Amino acid sequence: MTMQSVIRIHNLCLQNWALEHSNFLWNRDQDIEIQKQKSQCGICKPLPRDPVDVNSQWNHMPSQFRDRIPSARFPAEKGRYVLYLNYICPWAHRAAIVFALKGLGDVLDLVEVDGRDAAHGWFFSGRSGPERDPVYGAKWLKEIYLRADPKYNGRITVPLLWDTFNGTAVNNEAAEIIHMLFDAFDPLLPPERREINKGVAGFRPAHILTEMDSLLSWVHDTVNNGVYKVGFATSQASYDEHVNKLFKSLDRLEDHLSQPKHYPYLFGQYITEADIRLYTTIIRFDVAYYTLFKCNKKMIRLDYPRLHAWLRRLYWSDGPETGGAFRATTHFDLIKEGYSAVTVGNGVVPAGPEPPIMPLS
């Protein structure tokens, strides 16, 4: 099926959606026909979700677009690529931070999508980001994915790195995208912003790479993904297992930060990839994961003084090293609203904690 056919069927589906939600001319035959139309629409089919296995364990499905910039097909070129993201998602938030830290606004476009709709996924609302995709006029991010592959039936995720020249997805794996943002576009940047010229001040400096990647591995499993394993556990045994692993890892991070060589950031004087990847989970902890994901044995602000100080240091930093990138990309209202929609689902957003982050001193 061509992309034009997919869009044509979806336009009919949208007309039916309007009829379905009106009070006019409604009958059982129309309902049957509309549900049939939905089943044929590649955009309105139910979205695949991260699976829960036989042991009630949440598992993160792998990303499906894994190309890289630069390459023969995807060279680093100014004005060619679009980065789709949302500020609710911690993985997309990482990309937003790196985008800001690197000053990539003149090199590629950033397009914000709104929070998840149960039927269609990420969408363009005009409330958070543009009303429609500025490249293709799409309403849902799934339409963009289907341009890359009309038969695509994987997860609709952000961040998504898109090539407007070839009209296709480059990559939707968050870790690989931030690695590309670290240095893929450096030839287009001033020398002082190029990773190769930063030495020990780079995001992945050679002298700590082994130690940092080791930390990133267990943090990814038990903290970044750990909060989801806790929040989406469907049995008490699974919940107990992962909530204990989560807080053991937070204790381990607190101890890590007690060492002089791990101050003021996770690996010393300079912000690294490890700080960026941990920040987007910890900044959401007290305002979302503690209550909505039942990660409520301890709070960062009350029970982890070193981790709390590290978090505030990043958030409130507005010097030349960060330019305020962490604070500018952190939107507590969107975070609380987004996680409430996923867990509670009745439109009620928690008021606290107040303040969402404590002052630096």
The continuous run of DSSP H or E covering 122 comes out as: strand 121-123
Is 87 assigned a catalytic role? no
Q: Which two tokens stand for residue 222?
A: 């038990």
Judge whether 227 is annotated as a binding position.
Answer: no
122 known member of a binding site: yes
Alpha helices in the chain (DSSP H): 3-20, 28-40, 90-102, 141-148, 174-183, 209-219, 226-231, 236-256, 273-282, 290-292, 300-303, 305-316, 325-328, 332-343
Which one is catalytic: 81, 228, 265, 270? 228
Which residue out of 13, 41, 44, 89 is catalytically annotated?
89
228 flagged as catalytic: yes
170 labelled ligand-binding: no
Instruction: Please state, in angstroms and as integers, the Cα–Cα distance from residue 154 to each residue in 11, 120, 157, 191, 252, following that order.
Output: 21, 13, 9, 39, 35
Of 318, 281, 288, residue with least CA distance to 91 = 281
CB of 82 within 8 A of CB of 109? yes
Contact 310, 264 (CB under 8 A): yes
How many residues in the chain? 361
CA proximity to 309, closest of 278, 249, 356, 263: 263
Binding site per annotation, positions: 122, 155-158
Instruction: Mark the binding-site residues for glutathione, compressed into ranges.
Output: 122, 155-158
Q: Which residues are catalytic?
A: 89, 228
